[in-house]
Every structure is written in structure tokens, then in C-alpha cells.
Amino acid sequence: MRRILQGYYRLPGAGDGWIAAGLLAALRLWLAWPFFHTGMLRVERWSTQTFLFGDIHPLPGVDPWIAALLTTTAELTLPVLLAVGLAGRLAGLGLAVMSATILLVVGQTPQGLENGISQPAEQIPWILAGLVIALAGPGRLALDRVIATRLRPARVRS
């Protein structure tokens, strides 16, 4: 497991500059907020979620209850991970995949088209932001960075 983590934290990032770190932190928070907010709304209105995933924006081939549970869990977990920069690349990629699924799958169902679920002006920037974070890493102002520095072997001085 340690080797897997070391490999993950050795992936190249966007650099060590503070400007890049600040921009990546802002991008992480910008992307995390709408998903977390939606997840909280789902929890508050849980009794309607199977109806929504069955009749308003169904996920083809997935039971509405399971779709509601998986989506809500992802909408509450991934944004928190992204905001603090823990497993930031995976969280960014997860939110990009969720956005792409909304845009390309859910939004194209008859119910999705009827209810205007797919909003390219919303989903495309979210997809791009998630991909940037997945490729560049969460930046210097992230828990991933703290963990990476602790996993690096100490340099031996000769």
C-alpha cells in the first residue's frame, strides 16, 4: 500500500509556485461547492430522491435507490476531499466524470431532455476544472502535499 501511495504522490504536479498553488486551491473550492451543496440538498430531501432518479433524471440501467445513494455519497465525499486536497487528483477526476455523466448520459434521456438536466454552460467548465486538477494535482496548499513530503525518503548526506 505504501508503494502505491508513493507512486501516486510522485506524479508530476503543476509546480511549486505560490501563485499556481493559490489558483489551484481556488479552482478546487470553486468545483467542490456546487457538488457539496447539491449533496446536502439531497440529504435534506431524501424522501424524493428515488422519484427524482426514477422519473426526472434517471441513470439508465441503475436502480433509482442505488443511483440516489451513490450520487449523494459522491456529492458529499468527493467535494470534501477536493476542498482539503486529499486524494485531490482522484476527487477532481471523480467530479469531472460525474459532470460528464450528467451532460452526456442523464441529460440525453427523454426525461433529462424534457426537464433540462443537461446544462453545457455549467457542466463543461466543471469537467475542464476536474480534469485540470486531475492532471496538475491539487497544488501546494493541499493535504496531498503534506502527505507526499512525509512519504519521501530522507535524503542521506554524505
Asked whether 59 and 53 are in contact (CB, 8 A), the reply is yes
User: pLDDT tens digits, residue range 106-132?
Assistant: 888 888 888 888 889 999 999 999 999
User: pLDDT tens digits, residue range 40-50?
Assistant: 999 999 989 98
CA 36/CA 10 separation, integer angstroms: 29
Q: pTM for this structure?
A: 0.85
> What count of other Cβ atoms lies within 10 Å of the Cβ of residue 86?
16
| Residue ranges of domains in the chain | 2-151
> Which residues lie below 8 Å from residue 37, measured CB to CB, with a gap of 6+?
none
Handedness of CA 140, 141, 144, 146 (dihedral sign): positive
Closest residue by Cα to residue 85 from 9, 4, 19, 7: 9
